[in-house]
């Protein structure tokens, strides 16, 4: 990917029905990096992601690219050639094959009547190969499990062939195996394909495992931004989530783990100490 690929938001103020829910947020998505947006429910992380995807218009501030292009100045098709979004919920289209759903991602590159996309078939095949769904290309979407469907929708985003990929809780409602597979795919996209990834996650341990950078939101404000080690501290997380959270690092790998400390956690810890 070119060095000027990526996406940024500056001084973004976002509101619903006149009530501000995100206050003057700055965020940078860089090529080859995964940026995790974190915070409790209602903190504004999904709204911030939607604003980067131009699905939520800012009351103030801008979304743009490192080359100076204002995202608002682009046509929908031109923007979709640069940024793709995997939303939280996707339909389950009955009677439609996997290969056709993945092919939807080629829409920004096609002219009228689906013409003018010579690279389309190869891009669709590549996306299915990356996401591990090529062997189910001719199966109907209704016959797939939730995890398989999620991988198909992710393949559709990859077929769109953008330098920026936005994902809103991509591991939600998936079992452990598919959560790990989706996170591995996200990491591969950044490492192997130079994609700038912005992802909303609820699981702090997943964020620590997959992200290069983290943005922690609380009450609509960016409380901390930086590397996971800088952001995922006990002090920051306890303040943001309103519950005591202990953060430990594996002595061998350095991997961070966050553990909320509830009333029963304290009791059990006390019993163990006795």
Q: Has residue 181 been placed in a domain?
A: yes
Q: Is 267 exposed, middle or buried (0-12, 13-18, 19+ CB in 10 A)?
A: exposed
Q: Has residue 16 been placed in a domain?
A: yes
Number of domains in the chain: 1
Q: Has residue 249 been placed in a domain?
A: no
Q: What tokens appear for 123 in the block?
A: 């891009």
Q: Which of 99, 121, 118, 117 is nearest to 109 (CA)?
A: 117
Domain, as residue range, for 90: 7-242
Per-residue pLDDT of the chain (274 residues; tens, 9 = 90+): 444 589 999 999 999 999 999 999 999 999 999 999 999 999 999 999 999 999 999 999 999 999 999 999 999 999 999 999 999 877 777 789 999 999 999 999 886 666 677 888 999 999 999 888 999 999 999 999 888 888 899 999 999 999 999 999 998 878 888 888 889 989 999 999 999 999 999 999 999 999 999 999 999 999 999 999 999 999 999 999 999 999 999 888 888 999 999 877 655 555 444 4
CATH number of residue 24's parent domain: 3.40.50.300
Residues 6 or more apart whose CB falls under 8 angstroms from that of 222 comprise 25, 26, 27, 215, 216
Compute CA 177 distance to the chain's CA centroid, rounded to the nearest angstrom. 18
Q: Has residue 256 been placed in a domain?
A: no
Q: Which of 1, 2, 51, 65 is nearest to 23 (CA)?
A: 51
């Amino acid at each position: 990917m070119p060095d000027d690929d990526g996406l940024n938001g500056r001084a973004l103020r976002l509101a619903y029905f006149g009530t501000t829910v995100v206050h003057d947020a700055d965020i940078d998505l860089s090529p080859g990096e995964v940026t995790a947006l974190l915070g409790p429910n209602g903190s504004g992380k999904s709204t911030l992601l939607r604003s980067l995807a131009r699905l939520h218009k800012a009351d103030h501030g801008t979304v743009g690219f490192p080359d100076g292009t204002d995202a608002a100045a682009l046509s929908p098709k031109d923007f979709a050639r640069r940024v793709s979004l995997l939303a939280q919920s996707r339909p389950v289209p009955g009677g439609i094959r996997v290969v056709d759903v993945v092919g939807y991602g080629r829409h920004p590159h096609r002219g009228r009547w689906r013409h003018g996309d010579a690279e389309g078939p190869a891009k669709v095949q590549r996306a299915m190969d990356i996401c591990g769904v090529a062997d189910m290309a001719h199966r109907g979407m209704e016959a797939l499990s939730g995890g398989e469907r999620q991988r198909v929708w992710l393949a559709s985003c990859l077929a769109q062939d953008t330098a920026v990929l936005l994902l809103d809780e991509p591991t939600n409602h998936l079992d452990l195996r598919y959560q790990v597979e989706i996170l591995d795919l996200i990491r591969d996209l950044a490492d192997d394909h130079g994609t700038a990834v912005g992802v909303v996650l609820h699981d702090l341990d997943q964020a620590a495992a997959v992200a290069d950078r983290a943005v922690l939101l609380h009450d609509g404000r960016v409380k901390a931004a930086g590397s996971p080690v800088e952001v995922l501290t006990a002090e920051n997380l306890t303040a943001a989530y309103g519950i005591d959270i202990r953060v430990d690092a594996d002595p061998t790998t350095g991997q961070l783990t966050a553990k909320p400390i509830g009333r029963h956690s304290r009791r059990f810890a006390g019993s163990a100490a006795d």
